Amino acid sequence: MSSLLPLLLLALSAQADEPVAPAGHPVMAGEVQVTVLPAEPQAVLQQGDSLWVLSSAGDLQTWQVGPEGWTLASEQPMPQASGLFLAQGEPWVVVHEVKALPLGHYEPGRAAPVAVVGAPPTGESQPAFVSAGAPSELGSVLSVGQGTVVVDLGRIAGIGPGTDLRFLGTQLVEVPSLSGEGLEEREVDRVSGSGRVRLVEDDRALVDVDRGGRVGVGDRVELVEKGIHYPAAPERLGGLRETGLIVRPVLGLDTLGVAFINELWTTWTFEQPWYATVRVTPLALGWSRDGNPISVAGLISGGYDARYLSVGLGAGWSMLNGDPSDWGRSYQYTEDGGGWGAVQFDDVDNAFSVVQEARLGSRDGVNLTVRNTFVLVPQQESSWNGSCDGEDDYYYYYRDNSEECYDITDTGKSFEYGGIAMALYVPVGSRTDLFSDFGTGGSGVTWVEGGVATWLRGHGDKGSLGISVAAGYGSLQAQPNDEWVELYGPLVSLGARWRW
């Protein structure tokens, strides 16, 4: 027995000198061992001096080779990754999307949608892959209300109040035929709008649609990580008609009375980038102890209307009550016998007018609109006829008292600048704007105001109802019963508009 002990010790010593193979799975770069993992990795990809290793635990390791061999440059967890490959000369990682679907709405055999970020070159057989930050299609639109929609997903799908969604629909467009002859219709995807979840249940959610969106039943719903709202420049909505009214009561300060500077309009916004408007502005009426002034101007206009701007032309008619030519106008004789100045718009009780219109900015976003009016008025000249001997050459006469001294000759008509109206709108919420409005001119009406406009119902599409409230200053001037009347003072305004 004692003779066997040296032999046993010798055998154990020999085994201790033999190298022990490391436990785990080696990762090789050609003939060189880079590292050892506890289990076989899911994927290994090498490109030049870089090596990517996707472990079985879902960790992505990046190795770099240098003078001292391979060194670990970075390691990050990627639990949804399942593969690595080269596409178009760049490394790609295959990421599987994880989602929850209510069984009551699950359709067997329907492929789960993925958001494709790219594709390998033709001929390379690789699985589809998605980006972790890409939109994720979840469901569809069940019903459409006034500025809201109901979608077939809720808490089970991982959404809650405030979640941003995007809607996708389809439309027919004409594209060149593949045969090269003529055009043909193709059905393509389009973004129909975006919105934010307001109320949510397990498998339903109520979503407020953003300005410029026109979502239909059946449109697909995508979950997006970051909102895509554009309140400053929403999409143009065509095929709309809008009827509106603004009432501006003015409290007279210098004269006991009240005036109303009103505005009424109907606008057609066509599917193509064109618009047409019928507008009565001002529609001004006044009551006072000195008389009841009236000023009315109507116009019809139209032109080009795009998302970020519009331009148009129009024509109309302006009217003041009384005879404004008697508004204390005086005429002065000159020693050289020269003619008198042209009669201005203030001297005319009614006249034909031409209108220029322009808008810079989105109609339902930030925008500045300007409307200029030019009025066709008669021109006259007066010359001394010598029948008023003894009068001072520089004496002022009213027209009624000067006809015996001067000969008045009509010299035709010409356009004079009649006035301007401007409005600035700035969105401050999903349904609310701050605005400022100003107008003045020879029609005898001036107003300036600032206030708030909001949609009580809808978001600007068909069926929307909006109101506005404002405060400022107003003035109405006219000559009823041959008496000069001016009503001016603070104003408040209330407006309403309906889109249909």
* 255: nearest Cα among 417, 431, 62, 485: 485
Q: Is residue 79 domain-shared with residue 115, that is, in the same domain?
A: yes
CA-to-CA separations, 121 to 36, 92, 117, 218, 429, in angstroms, rounded: 33, 12, 13, 34, 46
Q: Is residue 109 domain-shared with residue 193, that is, in the same domain?
A: no
- What CATH number does residue 455 fall under? 2.40.160.40
Element (H, E) at 6: helix 4-17
Listed residues 223, 253, 270: the one ending a domain: 223
CA–CA gap between residue 411 and residue 104 (Å, rounded)? 84
CA–CA gap between residue 241 and residue 236 (Å, rounded)? 13
Q: Is residue 61 domain-shared with residue 78, that is, in the same domain?
A: yes
Listed residues 80, 115, 134: the one ending a domain: 134
CA-to-CA separations, 368 to 272, 308, 362, 365, 437, in angstroms, rounded: 22, 11, 9, 10, 10
Cβ–Cβ under 8 Å, residues 35 and 28: no
Q: What is the structure's pLDDT at 97?
A: 63
Q: Is residue 145 domain-shared with residue 126, that is, in the same domain?
A: no
Q: Is residue 194 domain-shared with residue 267, that is, in the same domain?
A: no
Q: Is residue 471 domain-shared with residue 486, that is, in the same domain?
A: yes
Q: What is the structure's pLDDT at 124?
A: 39
Q: Is residue 93 domain-shared with residue 150, that is, in the same domain?
A: no
Give the three-class secondary structure for 17: helix
Q: What is the structure's pLDDT at 131?
A: 37
CA dihedral sign, ordered 474, 289, 349, 325 = negative
Show Cβ contacts of residue 296 under 8 Å, excluding neighbours closer than 6 positions.
Answer: 280, 282, 283, 284, 318, 319
Say if 17 falls within a structural domain. no
Listed residues 174, 190, 223: the one ending a domain: 223
| Pairing state between β 148-151 and 205-209 | antiparallel
271 φψ region: left (φ > 0), alpha (ψ -120 to 50), beta (else): alpha
Q: Output the six-digit token pair for 48.
A: 């030049």
Q: Output the six-digit token pair for 268.
A: 């057609």
Q: Give the chain's radius of gyration (CA, Å).
A: 40
**Bridge partners for 354 per DSSP:** 315, 374
CA–CA gap between residue 353 and residue 349 (Å, rounded)? 13
CA dihedral sign, ordered 464, 470, 475, 476 = positive
Q: What is the structure's pLDDT at 109?
A: 43
**Bridge partners for 35 per DSSP:** 27
Residue type for 296, please? V
CA–CA gap between residue 102 and residue 143 (Å, rounded)? 19
Q: Is residue 33 domain-shared with residue 158, that is, in the same domain?
A: no
Structural domain including 85 reads: 23-134
Q: Output the six-digit token pair for 84.
A: 């690595």
What is the pTM for the complete model shown? Answer: 0.64
Show Cβ contacts of residue 134 under 8 Å, excluding neighbours closer than 6 positions.
Answer: 115, 117
Say if 421 falls within a structural domain. yes
CA dihedral sign, ordered 111, 116, 121, 126 = negative
Q: What is the structure's pLDDT at 340?
A: 36
Q: Is residue 150 domain-shared with residue 120, that is, in the same domain?
A: no
CA–CA gap between residue 381 and residue 376 (Å, rounded)? 17
Say if 8 falls within a structural domain. no
CA–CA gap between residue 285 and residue 287 (Å, rounded)? 7
- H-type alpha helices, 56-170: none
Cβ–Cβ under 8 Å, residues 231 and 469: no
For the chain, the domain total comes to 3
Q: pLDDT tens for the chain, 500 residues: list them.
A: 555 555 555 555 555 455 544 567 888 888 888 888 888 898 898 888 899 999 988 889 998 988 888 889 888 888 888 888 877 667 888 877 665 555 554 444 444 443 333 334 333 333 333 333 445 557 899 999 999 999 998 888 888 898 889 999 888 877 777 677 778 787 778 888 889 999 999 889 999 999 988 999 999 998 876 656 667 889 899 999 999 999 999 998 888 889 999 999 999 999 999 999 999 988 988 888 877 888 888 999 999 999 999 999 999 988 765 443 333 333 333 334 333 333 333 444 678 889 999 999 999 999 999 999 988 877 777 666 666 555 444 444 444 444 556 667 777 778 888 889 999 999 998 899 999 999 988 778 899 999 999 999 999 999 999 999 999 999 998 776 667 788 899 999 999 999 99
Q: What is the structure's pLDDT at 499?
A: 95
CA–CA gap between residue 427 and residue 433 (Å, rounded)? 4
CA–CA gap between residue 253 and residue 256 (Å, rounded)? 7
Q: Is residue 204 domain-shared with residue 296, that is, in the same domain?
A: no
Give the three-class secondary structure for 450: strand
Q: Is residue 286 domain-shared with residue 399, that is, in the same domain?
A: yes
* 110: nearest Cα among 101, 118, 122, 123: 101
Q: Output the six-digit token pair for 321.
A: 């009550």
Cβ–Cβ under 8 Å, residues 437 and 448: yes
Q: What is the structure's pLDDT at 377?
A: 77
Say if 3 falls within a structural domain. no
Cβ–Cβ under 8 Å, residues 469 and 491: no
